[in-house]
């Protein structure tokens, strides 16, 4: 189960040993030049360049403020630093509004804390060490993180079932999953249920990702993975999540700060080679409302 490992990013932060870089705003133009070079940023003219610089500088101020306020998390420059919050949300937001909570529990089976036994989870465990995790991918300017989360989970489950690490087609979900909304968002539980009711899942090689929604091109003769069931979760205990993840997902504890290891879908050029560490929250709903809103797993045949 990789719904926690592959959730969409809530914030650009790492819960780890702090090594904080504070940015001198007097040198903002230098930082902006470094940012453009690192992420190959191109702008149509000087007017747009100055506009993007003003956004970058404001975001740099926010980075300094957040690093000052935080006890554990470390904030830094990412490739999204020249976007406003509204622009970022419009291009990359991929989970439907939380007001749709009543529609998230679409799997036939719903489990709660009492259904999760103690699995004897160790303090540290990471499925990457078992070679059970595919490469970090990039969803591009398409709100399809729900598809990437679903596929990443299936890829790892397929490996655990068959011993073959295969990349599957996010584009199939974006184009063909009618219960979700393509680049406008969706839920993993709905994707799993749709695949369960469908005729299988193609590989990424046969159905490559295009970062936009198009006509469904599913070919059942090329389907490789089959989904036979799915489970939704409504949990209140992060200890239960830890036990659950021990069997099929990663968790580590470093310097007394518990965190989840999360694989993003924005490419390997941000955070820790495309991964980041999310500090476990004391919020009853969990960080990013994970515990009782977005949890789902699939059974892969």
Place of tokens 């036939």: 108
How much of the chain exceeds pLDDT 90, in percent?
A: 38
Place of tokens 């939704």: 232
Q: What is the mean pLDDT of the chain?
A: 79
Alpha-carbon dihedral 81, 82, 85, 88, rounded to 10 degrees: -90
Answer yes or no: is pLDDT of 24 > 80.
yes
In which domain, by residue range, is 64 found?
25-89
Average pLDDT over residues 265-292: 61
Last residue of a domain, one of 36, 66, 89: 89
Between 283 and 233, the more confident residue is 233
Q: What angle do CA 84, 88, 93 make, to 5 degrees?
A: 150
Last residue of a domain, one of 89, 105, 136: 89
Residue 14 banded pLDDT, cuts 50, 70, 90: very low
Answer yes or no: is pLDDT of 105 > 60.
no
- pLDDT at 169 (0 to 100): 98
Q: pTM score, two decimals?
A: 0.76
HSE-CB at 38 with a 13 A cutoff on CA atoms is 14
Within the chain, strands assigned E span 14-15, 73-74, 109-111, 227-233, 252-254, 257-263, 275-279, 296-300
Q: What angle do CA 284, 276, 70 make, to 5 degrees?
A: 65
Is 3 among the domain residues? Answer: no
> Are 150 and 180 in the same domain?
yes
pLDDT tens digit string along 120-138?
777 677 778 888 889 989 8
> Are 116 and 229 in the same domain?
yes
- pLDDT at 89 (0 to 100): 77
pLDDT tens digit string along 152-195?
989 989 998 999 999 999 999 999 998 888 998 888 888 999 99
Between 246 and 228, the more confident residue is 228
- pLDDT at 111 (0 to 100): 83
CB 177 within 8 A of CB 227: no
Report the domain count for the chain.
2
> Are 139 and 84 in the same domain?
no
Last residue of a domain, one of 73, 89, 105: 89
Residue 285 banded pLDDT, cuts 50, 70, 90: very low
What is the distance in angstroms between the CA of the first residue and the CA of the last residue of the chain?
A: 14
- pLDDT at 232 (0 to 100): 81
Give 5: exposed, middle or buried? Use CB within 10 Å, 0-12, 13-18, 19+. Answer: buried
């Amino acid at each position: 189960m990789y719904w926690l490992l592959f959730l969409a990013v809530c914030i650009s932060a790492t819960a780890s040993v702090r090594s904080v870089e504070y940015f001198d705003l007097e040198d903002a133009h230098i930082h902006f030049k470094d940012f453009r070079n690192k992420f190959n940023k191109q702008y149509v003219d000087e007017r747009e360049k100055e506009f993007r610089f003003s956004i970058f500088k404001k975001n740099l101020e926010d980075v300094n403020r957040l690093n000052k306020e935080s006890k554990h998390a470390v904030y830094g420059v990412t490739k999204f630093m020249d976007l406003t919050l509204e622009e970022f949300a419009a291009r990359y937001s991929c989970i439907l509004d939380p007001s749709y909570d009543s529609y998230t529990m679409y799997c036939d089976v719903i489990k709660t804390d009492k259904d999760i036994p103690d699995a004897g989870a160790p303090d540290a465990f990471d499925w990457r060490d078992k070679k059970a995790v595919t490469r970090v991918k990039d969803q591009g300017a398409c709100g399809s993180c729900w598809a990437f989360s679903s596929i990443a989970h299936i890829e790892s489950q397929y490996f655990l079932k068959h011993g073959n690490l295969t990349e599957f087609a996010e584009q199939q979900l974006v184009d063909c999953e009618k219960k979700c909304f393509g680049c406008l968002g969706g839920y993993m539980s709905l994707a799993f249920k749709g695949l369960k009711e469908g005729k299988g899942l193609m590989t990424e090689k046969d159905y490559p990702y295009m970062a936009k929604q198009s006509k469904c091109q599913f070919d059942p003769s090329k389907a490789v993975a089959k989904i036979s069931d799915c489970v939704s979760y409504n949990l209140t205990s992060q200890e239960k999540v830890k036990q659950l993840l021990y069997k099929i997902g990663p968790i580590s504890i470093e310097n007394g700060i518990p965190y989840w290891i999360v694989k993003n879908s924005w490419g390997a050029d941000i955070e820790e080679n495309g991964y980041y560490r999310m500090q476990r929250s004391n919020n009853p709903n969990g960080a990013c409302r994970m515990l009782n809103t977005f949890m789902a797993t699939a059974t892969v045949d």
